[in-house]
Structure 1
Amino acid sequence: MKKIIYGVLAAIALSGCEKKLDLVNPNYPTTASFWKTSDQAFAAVNSVYNSLTLDGTYNRSFPGLQDSRGEDVKGDSPWGDLVATGQFVIPNTSDPVLWIWRDFYLTIGRANRVIANVEAYKPEDLDDAAKKRIMGQAYFLRALSYFNLINNFEKIPLITTPPASKQDYYPATAKSEDVWNQIFEDLKTAEDYLPLDYSNVVGPDKGQVGRATKGAAAGLLGKAYVYQKKWDLAQKQFEKFVLPGGIFNGRYSLTSNYRDNFSNVGENNAESLFEIQFDSSFGSDGNWTGEPNANWRQFAGYCVTYAPRGFSANGVQYGGYKDYIPTAYLRNQYKTETTVDGGTDPRLLATVCSYEPAANSTKVYGVEWPYGTNEMFLRKYTHDGLNYTGPETFENGDINYRVLRYADILMLYAETLNELGRTADAYTYIQQVRSRAKLKDLATVKPGMNKDQMKDQIAHERLLEFAVEGQRIHDLIRWGWFYDNTKLAALKAADSDFNTWKPGKEYLPVPLFELNANKNLVPNSAN
């Protein structure tokens, strides 16, 4: 099957009813009546995936509120929160910020219940292989959620078990070290428990594409090590992918067409380690923020959120909301080098929707350019160029969100080698990514770079390869650019949004609603 159809399992979040009325609704099971069969265990882990398609996770708010904080993307929406986030002045009363916090903790809560309850299954109810497979997915999804939360909110509570008492509903802010150690341990367990793929497993998940795999866990673990500057450990993780004899060597590769990584015709390809599965044909109700229900449609809201502003042509409505637009700086960075045949970096037109006569791109949705020639929009993760006709509404969005790509493994490995003093060796892995873009050999263009020069080159290469993928803000934070006067000045020159940044505001604020509800939480530097 092309995609997993996620079922919503609200029952696992219930704590059971009081015994004043001993009535049981068979259509609305309680925690006490659940966790009995293998089908229920599989349904429960499906519900964890389902929570990653909500507004606060990967449906809309989370991608946008990450992208707008980099120098590649700006907010350009009548919804003030989307603009304020990119300008680093978002208040802690913002609804989208609250939704991100809420929905990733919903994911964690579901994963915690799967881990706690599936562990207790007896072999006659769930065989050991299936048990490990289910728990491995829960560990991976919990780690991914904590990875996203700590990188965006800086200070967060750490919850690893279902609540057993009233006090458990008021967790304290955890030490950063404890959160990162939990991420590492969860991903180690997931890597151990998960299969390479699901083609030969026994169970209802047999042959399904899109579930977390051993490679996804190993890759995210390597990335987590990089974020914490654990270079020796990161090296060992990435060598599993790039060196002969590595368990994942040859399993993943770069797609020949860069655009295939952001369209609905190249999903779950050889470059993808993990992506969020969207299918607009499933369900009947819009998956807006609020209480989930089983009829929610699994569509991707960012498709229209990022899309060029709407226009009509030949009786057809095209485009979307343009809540976010690319910066001129991003567009110009793609033009700093020509390809080996003298052309434009093909990633420009896969990422940015702009009027480019020199590159034979003067159309949008197949229609002759309807905007001013200086206007720019986003193309990555939109339906532009996919033979799409009709209004691009939230209900039509069905492009999977790519969480981790093999290109990132290569670039992170190159960065790791450089940090370990093996700068000359880093060229090889950077060039694999450059070669797909038909760029000249970096070792010829910029031979003999030292460590600091290579760090700047990697920063440039990552901007071009991963623009509009929610990565840039976290790269800037982990590189310390906000607190380097030279780098900060460059960011301000690239994107005027950085002029209103103040120390600590690179993070999203801990929502005021949560601070008021839980006195054990502490504000972060953005509050």
Structure 2
Amino acid sequence: MKLKYIKAIVFLSSCAILASCEKQLTEKPFSFLTPNNFYLNESDARTAINGVYAELYSWDMYMQPFWNLNILDDDHVSGADWFLGTSGAGNPMGYWGVDGPWNGCFKIISRANTVLENVTLINTDIDHEVKGRILGEAYFLRAWAYFQLVQMYGGVPIRTESLSANSNQNVPRAKIVDNYELIVEDLKKAEQMLFPVGHAKAGEPGRVNRGVAKGFLAKVYLTIASAGLANGSVTVRGGQDNGYYTYPKKVVAGFEGVDSNKYFQLAADKALELINDEEYELFDNWENIWSMASRNTKENMWQLQSLAGSAFVNNLHNYFNARSTFGTGAVWLSNNHYKDYEENDHRVLKGITHNYQALNGVYVFYPSWEASKYKNLNGITYNNNGTTSDKAYTIKYASVTNPDLANSDAYLPLLRYAEIYLIYAEAANEVHHGPTVEAYRKLNKVVERAKATAAPAGMNQQEFRSFVLAERAREFALEGVRKFDLLRWGIYLDVMNKISLGQNNISKIRTQKNLLMPIPLDEINSNTMIKENNPGW
């Protein structure tokens, strides 16, 4: 990163944690800074780490491209063809933001490297515990960015030094397992350096803490373990008829020879450690997760922050909500996935919008086959034409300050405590070659919180594995989890192609090239050590 751009970065970043955001947006940027006159004290260190977080809010990342390329590309999502016709239909090269995640994640990595190199040298006018925390945040964010990259692109160049005019930009792609080695190493460092949630020096809401580092470490272990598993099968509900299909487990390319049992054990141990820390708790009612009052509390371990009236807003509400400046939203759950929930499961009973008024004034209900419940409500008659009206809109991004704006202050979950329970359940089942009492207990904590029926007793290893995978799909729908679950289990192509043509004529047909994203041509043209793109691109 060229040093003359440091202030531009930190000016944007000063609201990354959204503490005193309105005041900080008025600060004047300096014209030029060097390490000698910038990294002098604790205030400089805080500003620098905010600059790493700031990239999350860019048009490379969560302003749209990052969630577009991941949330829209799974078996349970549907939407308007004008929006899902590119990345949602397996054609990411047709999407304007296709290079965003690569560029954005490497900016995070570069900025984190700058923090690690320079904040380390600050020894005066700084609380050394806060200094350690800031370095821990930098290690975590670097690991998080590499985790996203390796899942999306396969092995990527490892850069652990900041970029400068004199640095070597030509770095070859590392092996996938080497990328994961760095990710694990960085997360372990972060875990040791960060404070637990609620600690006086843990930092403002929106910063990562020790529990978040532990949670992602468990998630990374689970990803390695499941990707490397060489036998077994998974049953998934889907296809045109929404039936149950069993697919053989395939080793994901790059994970050959991985000791899956070792990593499943590590995932189970780390998830259980985090649970036993008792620093977080599930909300009693599933729907409470998504209220504005619940932000950054209880199970919302790490969320993308936002602030109405500032530059730190996003368009999640506009695309996912039933009522939108488009008239209605552009993204919804498929009817088939809706039918995978029990009728009284709060994740559809309360988590899907059943009655709403579109921007044109028309009152609509969903789904058409439940007219007796939703057609007439509070003296209003709602409509559904039985085809294009059947759109299962989530409430997850509906709670915003002003729902009539295209860009608003929706929060996006980056890690929820419910996932830690499901990580433990999945990993323990694999370690013990079948579900243990404790695996059932952790699974049912999530299932029963949603008011769904407890998992069936007496399941074998494959049945429990498949149930957990389905439960993750029900719990984390439209949160950017499902695609990576299918990829790490090696069944993404099977599941997508079994559907072929999805709801609203959205193509679910995928080929081998869709297993990885295309590397940006700018990277290939400028980095002489990368000779070719991912297969098929």
1:454 to 457, 461, 464: 464
Report if aligned partners of 1:42, 1:134 keep a CA contact under 8 Å in 2: yes
2:80 to 76, 89, 93: 76
Report if aligned partners of 2:76, 2:337 keep a CA contact under 8 Å in 1: yes
Report if aligned partners of 2:317, 2:403 keep a CA contact under 8 Å in 1: no
Q: What is the TM-score when the length of structure 2 is the normalising length?
A: 0.78
Distance 1:198 1:78 in 2: 44
1:276 to 304, 310, 320: 304
1:402 to 393, 401, 413: 413
Shift of 1:429: 1.0
Report if aligned partners of 1:351, 1:467 keep a CA contact under 8 Å in 2: no
Q: Is 1:261 aligned to residue 289 of structure 2?
A: yes
Q: Is 1:300 aligned to residue 310 of structure 2?
A: no
Report if aligned partners of 1:482, 1:488 keep a CA contact under 8 Å in 2: yes
Report if aligned partners of 1:89, 1:501 keep a CA contact under 8 Å in 2: no
Q: Secondary structure at the match of 2:414?
A: strand
Shift of 1:169: 2.4
Q: Deviation string for 1:5-27 (max 9, x for gaps)? A: xxx942679xxxxxxxxxxx954
Shift of 1:107: 1.4
Q: Deviation string for 1:177-233 (max 9, x for gaps)? A: 1111111011100000000035422xxx75x22211000000100000000001121
Within a 5 Å distance, the mapping from 1:432-443 to structure 2 comes to 432-442=445-455
Q: Deviation string for 1:466-503 (max 9, x for gaps)? A: 110100000000111136x5x55645487675652111
Whichever residue aligns with residue 138 of structure 1, its letter is: A
Cα gap change, 1:11/1:375 in structure 2, threshold over 3 Å: closer, same or farther? Answer: closer
Shift of 1:360: 5.0
Cα gap change, 1:389/1:120 in structure 2, threshold over 3 Å: closer, same or farther? Answer: closer
Aligned to 2:427: 416
Q: Deviation string for 1:217-269 (max 9, x for gaps)? A: 00100000000001121122012123xxx3x2x22111122233334332112
Distance 1:227 1:482 in 2: 14
Aligned to 2:339: 332
Report if aligned partners of 1:75, 1:323 keep a CA contact under 8 Å in 2: yes
Aligned to 1:90: 92
Q: What is the TM-score when the length of structure 1 is the normalising length?
A: 0.80
Report if aligned partners of 2:308, 2:401 keep a CA contact under 8 Å in 1: no
Q: Is 1:56 aligned to residue 60 of structure 2?
A: yes
Cα gap change, 1:526/1:160 in structure 2, threshold over 3 Å: closer, same or farther? Answer: farther
Report if aligned partners of 1:320, 1:393 keep a CA contact under 8 Å in 2: no
Distance 2:346 2:374 in 1: 11
Whichever residue aligns with residue 393 of structure 1, its letter is: A
Whichever residue aligns with residue 50 of structure 2, its letter is: N
Within a 5 Å distance, the mapping from 1:63-212 to structure 2 comes to 63-79=67-83, 82-91=84-93, 94-122=95-123, 124-164=124-164, 166=166, 168-197=168-197, 199-201=199-201, 208-212=204-208
Report if aligned partners of 1:12, 1:34 keep a CA contact under 8 Å in 2: no
Within a 5 Å distance, the mapping from 1:9-24 to structure 2 comes to 9-10=7-8
Q: Is 1:233 aligned to residue 266 of structure 2?
A: yes
1:392 to 405, 410, 434: 405
1:516 to 518, 525, 530: 525
Aligned to 2:515: 506
RMSD across aligned positions (CA): 2.9
Report if aligned partners of 2:71, 2:483 keep a CA contact under 8 Å in 1: yes
Cα gap change, 1:12/1:299 in structure 2, threshold over 3 Å: closer, same or farther? Answer: closer
Cα gap change, 1:471/1:350 in structure 2, threshold over 3 Å: closer, same or farther? Answer: farther
Distance 2:99 2:112 in 1: 20
Cα gap change, 1:526/1:221 in structure 2, threshold over 3 Å: closer, same or farther? Answer: farther
Report if aligned partners of 1:252, 1:271 keep a CA contact under 8 Å in 2: yes
Report if aligned partners of 1:306, 1:320 keep a CA contact under 8 Å in 2: no
Shift of 1:59: 2.5
Report if aligned partners of 2:320, 2:332 keep a CA contact under 8 Å in 1: yes
Distance 1:327 1:456 in 2: 20
Distance 1:46 1:11 in 2: 9
Distance 1:330 1:348 in 2: 10
Whichever residue aligns with residue 435 of structure 1, its letter is: E
Q: Is 1:382 aligned to residue 393 of structure 2?
A: no
Within a 5 Å distance, the mapping from 1:459-498 to structure 2 comes to 459-482=469-492, 487=495, 490-492=498-500
Report if aligned partners of 1:275, 1:402 keep a CA contact under 8 Å in 2: yes
Unaligned runs of 5+ in 2: 1-5, 12-28, 226-262, 355-365
Distance 2:374 2:140 in 1: 41
